[in-house]
Amino acid sequence: MMRATPSDLPLVLDGVSLHIGSTVVLDRLDLTIAPGAPTLVVGPNGSGKTTLLRLCMQLVRPSQGRVSWGGRTDAGQGRRAILFQKPVMLRRSAAANVAYVLAQVGHPRHLRAAQALELLDRVGLADLAARPARRLSGGEQQRVALARALARQPEILLLDEPTASLDPAATLHVEEIIRMAAQSGTKIVMASHDLGQVRRLAGEVVFMIRGRVCEQASAEKFFDRPSTTEAAAFIRGDLVL
């Protein structure tokens, strides 16, 4: 049903600026996200990674420039899903949170409960399905949110530092789920702080500083032969402002 709609790829940002008050969050940014291996968005705090993802999700509109999804400038949210850094749980059980999204995308009513449980099982939370989602730990809520995002069967999955609050075991689990989603054809666009994680997951790296794309390259090239001094410094672990 969702597949009947045209593709959202390539996702193109063309000269996009975003001002909030007098602050320039994004500054004439150009970026094309094409189908393929995961795109990891890296850069220091405040470089505009979160805002970039929100623009890609059509949650904010650019002050200047334009965003297009598969050539369309108003694509709705139908084929994309986002995992926020601090996801908000609906005041329902974990399973009901997932079932809510399934209902939203038109999943048949009698199959929802089973499908919700299956999705929770994929993120390792099947035994917490009946618990109130807001009572779960931060890491568990993150995974419920991931199950909710997967429930939309997105063509593009946007993730904003999804493992920032997780322990290594949970991080490994989430990365595995992301890798599986990527293998099954979902385009992953993920902001991350963790260069180890970027090396593990990235097919392509978008390096941002001060609201602009400083460098966009394959992961291999980015780590081996960065073309900007800022990227080289960032990879070395120097402080980049």
Partner 1 sequence: MQQKSHEICCGQGFRMSESVGAWQLIASGDATLFAIVRLSLAVSLSAVAIAVIVGLPLGALLALTRFPGRSAVVVVLNGFMGLPPVVVGLTVYLLLSRSGPLGEFGLLFTPAAMVVAQALLVLPIIAALARQTIEDLWSEYRDELTAMGVGPAGRVATLLWDSRFSLITALLAGFGRAAAEVGTVMIVGGNIEGFTRTMTTAIALETSKGNLPLAMGLGIVLIGIIIAINAAAWGLRLWSEQRAG
The residue ranges that bind partner 1 (CB under 8 A) are 54, 57, 59, 76-78, 80-82, 84, 87-93, 100-101, 104-105, 132-135, 148, 152
Closest approach of partner 1 to the CB of residue 87, in Å? 7
Q: Of the candidates 147, 97, 154, which has an alpha carbon nearest to the alpha carbon of residue 125?
A: 147
Nearer to partner 1, 33 or 89 (CB): 89
Between helix 138-151 and helix 94-104 the angle, nearest 10°, is: 20
CA distances in angstroms from 57 to 53, 168, 188, 230, 237, listed in the order given: 6, 28, 13, 28, 30
- CB closer to partner 1 out of 104 and 227: 104
Measured from the CB atom, is 29 or 89 closer to partner 1?
89
Dihedral (CA of 191, 192, 193, 199) sign: negative
Nearer to partner 1, 141 or 171 (CB): 141
Q: Token digits for 2? A: 């969702």
Question: Pick from 118, 83, 113, 81: which is nearest to 96 by CA?
Answer: 113
| Least gap, CB of 91 to partner 1 (angstroms) | 4
Q: How far is the CB of 134 from partner 1 (least distance, A)?
A: 4
CB of 25 to partner 1, least distance (A): 16
Least Å from the CB of residue 193 to partner 1:
21
User: Which of 88, 180 has the CB closer to partner 1?
Assistant: 88
Question: What residue type is 73 in one-letter code?
Answer: T
- Minimum Å gap between C-beta 90 and partner 1 is 6
Measured CA to CA, the distance from residue 192 to residue 45 in angstroms comes to 10
Which amino acid type is present at position 108? Answer: P
> How many of the other CB atoms lie within 10 Å of CB of 222?
25
Q: Which of helix, strand or coil describes residue 166?
A: coil
* Nearer to partner 1 among residue 6 and residue 36 (C-beta): 6
- Residue keyed to tokens 């960065």: 226
